[in-house]
Structure 1
């Protein structure tokens, strides 16, 4: 079985892995510069890293966390659309819009972290997710 909506799902997974690599590539040198060692840290929390590392480094980590939150609903609803045979056409286009908006959100957060553009991108991506959810509901109920 093949559905066009699988492509944006894979694209967002790939983008999440790009953000993971970016986070590691900036965080490890910042930890070294701050005198932190993975070998000596015990049970640290995100707040500890926020206090110890520069904000610009943490923005990548925060965004990676965000890509583990709402997009999980995206993956689930896209799976429903694919399995119900309604993952092509407009639903695939909406899914691509969601992915594009999430990538833009990541770049805004990771590079400058301005709240207003981040909020606008988050709100627009949320509307795309609502549309996909409504279409999935129509398909299965």
Structure 2
């Protein structure tokens, strides 16, 4: 029987991604109301006139749609092939935790080295999750 526990981190990361998505219009509308930008500065995405603080939520959202796609795929693969294990579930939750902390750093004080370390470690965890799935599938 399939263990749905591997899907809980998937829902958690999707929920976090949704929260970051909701932050984008909030930051943009606030910037327009404060006259930091014009609404037309977003006509083609973001113009050069958009301040970094207004760009960052959108960039973070894009980050949450890039590499995490591989996380969603491997978790679904683990679920569908009934390969779920406590180790895989732990790795999945670790990945989600690292991605959330990466987002928090990016959206707050935005220290590049801290973000880089979190990004690299999360990618390492994701790689281990894929290797675990592949080796369990082969055996």
| TM-score w.r.t. length of structure 2 | 0.89
Between 53-62 and 23-32, the greater mean CA deviation after superposition: 23-32
Q: Unmatched 5+ residue regions in structure 2? A: none
C-alpha deviations, 1:4-58, integer Å up to 9, x for none? 11000000000000101112211122134245236x964x144x1xx22221121
**1:36 match:** 38
CA–CA separation in structure 1 for the residues paired with 2:129 and 2:97? 15
Choose from 116, 124, 127 the match for 2:124.
127
CA–CA separation in structure 1 for the residues paired with 2:68 and 2:32? 28
SS of the aligned residue for 2:85 comes to coil
Q: CA deviation at 1:59?
A: 1.1
**1:3 match:** 4
Q: Does 1:13 align with 2:14?
A: yes
1:23-62 equivalent positions in 2, closer than 5 A? 23-32=24-33, 33-37=35-39, 42=43, 44-46=44-46, 48=47, 51-62=48-59
Q: CA deviation at 1:60?
A: 1.0
Q: Does 1:82 align with 2:74?
A: no
Q: CA RMSD in A?
A: 1.7
CA–CA separation in structure 2 for the residues paired with 1:87 and 1:124? 22
Aligned residues: 136
Choose from 65, 68, 72 the match for 1:71.
68
SS of the aligned residue for 1:4 comes to helix
CA–CA separation in structure 2 for the residues paired with 1:91 and 1:8? 11
